Structure 1
Amino acid sequence: MSKKKIVSIEDRIPKLKQARKKKANRRLIFYLSIFFILISIIVYLQSPLSHIHTIEVTGNLALSDDEVVEKTNLTTDTNIWMLNESKIKNELAKNPIIDSVEVNKKLPWTVEIQVNELKQVGYLKKDGFFYPILGNGKVLTKLKRETSNGSAPLLIGFNDESMLNKMTEQLKKLPQNIRNLISEIHWKPKDDNKKKIVLFMSDGYVVDGTIRNFAKNMKVYPSIVAQLDPDNKGIIHIGVGVYFESFEDNTEDKKITKTTAE
């Protein structure tokens, strides 16, 4: 018959004490780690490390980056974790030219503001100021500027609201790359053609046309210019027929004075 080893309580007590001590030490280390993590988080939140360092604005054309940032009230003293996305969206949505906004954190300290503007097709020049115009013909009178930023053509002489609406509707249909070539659009109504317009292009040409089917007619502008001598500027007629008339000819249209945007 085998003999069982008998361990006295006196022999086990030191081992039990050692096990309890190790367990207590592990528990202490765990609680201390939690404590220091919490302290580190508090210090981080109170330090400049948690402040916004960079604000990136994308998607804006009519509005400058500074104009967008100003409306958000964000500064380099703003804590990135205290960012109120809904409040920023609501503030920016008050601007009539902004359709929608997305606000995203890009850790560790960057905020990205993605702006989706309503399509601005031009500026209306009136009484020495420049007013943004949307594709639906709405003139943003509250956003008047002393200068034009050159991002859209100037509409000059459009004192008839119905003609202005027709013109902006055509501009909205026009491809962006062609619209960018237009510097100014003058409404020059005549007895036999109330919709007559004259355009000054950024490449030095003048376009004589009409509001009716303007977008369709202007789509051929790049192909017309490609066939012309770049050193011989003149008037491109895009009415019923399409033809070019050099500035060397003595024409009435040649006498139209170009209004500068500055």
Structure 2
Amino acid sequence: MSKEKIVSIEDRIPKLKQARKKKANKRLVFYLSIFFFLISIIVYLQSPLSHVKTVAVTGNSFYHEQEVINQSGISQDTNIWTVNKEEVIKTLEKNPLIDTVTVETKLPWTVEIHLKEHERIGYIKKENEYYPILGNGAMMPDSETDSLSGDAPLLVNFTVEEVLIEMSQELSKLPKNIRNIISEIHWSPTDRNKNEIILYMSDGFMVESTIRDFSNKMTVYPSIAAQLDPGSEGIIHIGVGAYFEPFNQEITEEEIITNEVVE
């Protein structure tokens, strides 16, 4: 029968002490790592390393990038962790030229501002200068030109702000392929219809319609114009129904082109 080897307590104590020491050292290293990590974060947050170094702006055409950055209130002294996105969005959207804004922060020090501007839908003429009009009815006072580029219709006689805003909103909803062939829009209110408008089209036709629900009504124009002879001259009436009225001729039943258009 073999005898079990007996280890005395004196032999075991040094090994226990060594094991405890290793365990204590590991715990110390762990706590020190956390401590220095937290110190590093504090130093980073308090140092220029956490400041915004790059602000990228996209979607801007009316303003230079630096103008948008200045309006946003973000500078190279701004800590990237303190950028208030909601406040930046609220500030920029006060600008009548800007429709919507989104803001993104990308570590370590980049802020991205994405703009969606109101679309230019027309021009107003004042004192021989043409001023762009946006989809919300706002006029761009610093972007006047002495000639039209033909990229948007001229709005004539829109002297009432509420009427101009409503017309602008309707134009912004109109498909571009139709809006691009409108040369001029004249507000011509009558006792019967305060919202009556006369359009001069680039294909030679005139259109009589109304501001209310104009974007819906005007969608039938291409199909009506396509049914008319190229040399035809007259007015296309687009209201409850739609029909063509030749100049200096009586309207006959055969000349009426009807389309269902919601008033």
Per the normalisation by structure 1, the TM-score is 0.60
Structure 2 Cα separation of the partners of residues 73 and 216 of structure 1: 41
Partner of 2:138: 140
How far off is 1:23 after superposition? 1.9
Aligned length: 232
Correspondence for 2:52: 51
Correspondence for 1:174? 174
- Contiguous gaps of at least 5 residues in structure 1: 246-262
* Residue aligned with 1:219, SS: helix
Secondary structure at the residue paired with 1:74? coil
Once the two structures are TM-superposed, the CA of residue 18 in structure 1 deviates from its matched residue by 1.2
For 1:94 and 1:162, the matched residues in 2 are separated by: 19
Q: State the Cα distance separating 1:130 from its structure 2 match.
A: 2.0
The Cα RMSD (Å) is: 4.7
Cα offsets for 1:22-57 (capped at 9, x unmatched): 123212321332244235435554355763534244
1:155 Cα deviation (Å)?
1.6
Deviations, residues 78-111 of structure 1 (Å, cap 9, x unaligned): 4322211232133124234556544333444443
Give me the TM-score of the superposition, normalised by structure 2: 0.60
Q: Distance in 2 between matches of 1:76 and 1:36?
A: 27
1:30 alignment partner in structure 2: 30
After TM superposition, the structure 1 = structure 2 runs for residues 184-223 of structure 1, keeping only pairs within 5 Å, are: 184-187=183-186, 189=188, 195=196, 197-199=198-200, 201=202, 205-212=203-210, 214-216=214-216, 218-223=218-223
Q: Who is 1:256 aligned against?
A: none
Does the C-alpha gap of structure 1 residues 165 and 36 become closer, same or farther in structure 2, counting only changes over 3 Å? closer
Aligned counterpart, 2:257 = none
Matches within 5 A, 1:70-109: 70-75=70-75, 78-96=78-96, 98=98, 101-109=101-109
Against the structure 1 CA distance between its residues 216 and 25, is the aligned structure 2 distance closer, same or farther, given a 3 Å change threshold? Answer: closer
Match of 2:256 in 1: none
* Alpha-carbon contact 1:155-1:186 (below 8 Å) kept: yes
Q: CA deviation at 1:76?
A: 5.2
Show the counterpart of 1:12. Answer: 12
Give percent identity, aligned residues only.
42
Deviations 1:121-169 (Å, cap 9, x if unpaired)?
Answer: 544333435263555xxx436x523237987544233235576466446
Matched position secondary structure for 1:16: helix
Q: Which runs of 5+ in 2 are unaligned?
A: 248-263
- Classify the secondary structure of the residue corresponding to 2:159: coil
Q: Is the Cα–Cα contact under 8 Å of residues 153 and 182 in structure 2 kept in the other structure?
A: yes
What do the CA deviations read for 1:227-250 (whole angstroms, capped 9, x no partner)?
899xx99978433644899xxxxx
DSSP-derived class of the 2:8 partner: coil
Paired with 2:107 and 2:42, the residues of 1 have a C-alpha distance of: 17
